[in-house]
Amino acid sequence: MSLKSEAIHPLPKAGILDISLYVPGKSAARGAKIYKLSSNESPFGASPQAVAAYASKGNLLALYPDGSATELREAIAARYGLNAGSIVCGAGSDELLQLLAHAYLAPGDEAVYSQYGFLVYPIAIASNGAKAVVAPEVNHSTSVDDMLKCVNAQTKMVFLANPNNPTGTYLPFNEVKRLHAGLPKTTLLVLDAAYAEYVRRNDYESGLELVATSDNVVMTRTFSKIYGLAGLRLGWAYCPAHVADVLNRIRGPFNVSAAAMAAGVAAIGDQKFIETAIAHNEKWLGLLTEQLQALGLKVTPSVGNFLLIHFASSGNRTAPMADAWLNEHGIILRRMEAYGLPQCLRMTIGDEEANRAVVSALADFLK
């Protein structure tokens, strides 16, 4: 009997080996000083109170954390006026997105996300053997009409990053409500509001209200962006009671570390620290957009802490060439090939020095 047709080692479930690896932003470049603007991290870091709370757990490492994250859930609930029982915490919102897909998607199911949507969604969908259905975008913005056209009886989940990464565009709340109204009651709408704190628009809502008034909407949030705690891995989901119950059954019993919970409670308590970061972002979002446009570059209008910058698709001023030039000057932006945007680079809004360094290096590059 030939062994050739038989597997020679254990194989994962169908679909898993088709997943492309998620490639994080680079962190190395040439130059004495490195400006890392590739992963939407906060130039302000974390609140000193959060850092102190984290450090305070250093001599308690032998003890298991509170598996139900009570103190953290109560701090989040108090901050946003929510019911703590409807909050589930995770090791980053990525874990919660994965858990949601794990709980609600199986082979034969479909899940919808938009063309330039966050790349964690296709990974979460394919890991559970479901089919990813990609809705086209219009002007690098989610199109509710195109998303609804992708929905059928097999659609179990719809993922919407609002604002979206990497485009920086957002859907006004009435559009989110229109999307929700067009979904079957059995389809779970996941609103990923990782950048909600940065948005300064009257017609934007993160989704708290929609979760509270529906049975099929979940909102995820993170401590990785405005709170500057990306290294700790901390996020939360606000869910209908029946979804919270499902997530609590399948999550790891101690999925959030004691130090992360302590830092999260302190970070939520230090809103003054966040206000500085919000004001800085608003100022530089506008300034950088203007200055890059003045260099002749197209910039997608963003409400997040990053900008999608468009370069020529041929010739000697392309995005890969700009990237190489910036790397030579110690500046790291994010290449966008994985998102199907090879002519773009994504820039995180940095501190003033980093922002000025990018504009000046790009001005030289485009000369």
Ligand X SMILES: *Cc1c(COP(=O)(O)O)cnc(C)c1O
* The token pair that represents 284 in the structure block: 């530089």
Shortest spacing between CB 193 and ligand X, in angstroms: 8
Distances (CA, A) of 102 to 28, 37, 338: 34, 32, 23
Closer residue to ligand X, CB minimum distance, 336 or 362: 336
Say how far apart CA 261 and CA 53 lie, in whole Å. 9
Closer residue to ligand X, CB minimum distance, 168 or 291: 168
Say how far apart CA 279 and CA 228 lie, in whole Å. 15
Closer residue to ligand X, CB minimum distance, 204 or 365: 204
Shortest spacing between CB 238 and ligand X, in angstroms: 14
Q: Which residues pair with 89 in a beta bridge?
A: 236
Note the residues at the interface with ligand X (CB under 6 A).
40, 92-94, 118, 161, 165, 192, 194, 222, 224-225, 230, 235
Distances (CA, A) of 109 to 117, 181, 307: 19, 20, 34
Closer residue to ligand X, CB minimum distance, 72 or 361: 72
Distances (CA, A) of 266 to 46, 220, 321: 10, 20, 43
Shortest spacing between CB 53 and ligand X, in angstroms: 19
Shortest spacing between CB 98 and ligand X, in angstroms: 9
| Number of other CB atoms surrounding residue 166 within 10 Å | 26
Closer residue to ligand X, CB minimum distance, 196 or 361: 196
DSSP H helical ranges for 156-202: 173-181
> Which residue of the chain is nearest ligand X when measured via CB?
92
Shortest spacing between CB 337 and ligand X, in angstroms: 17
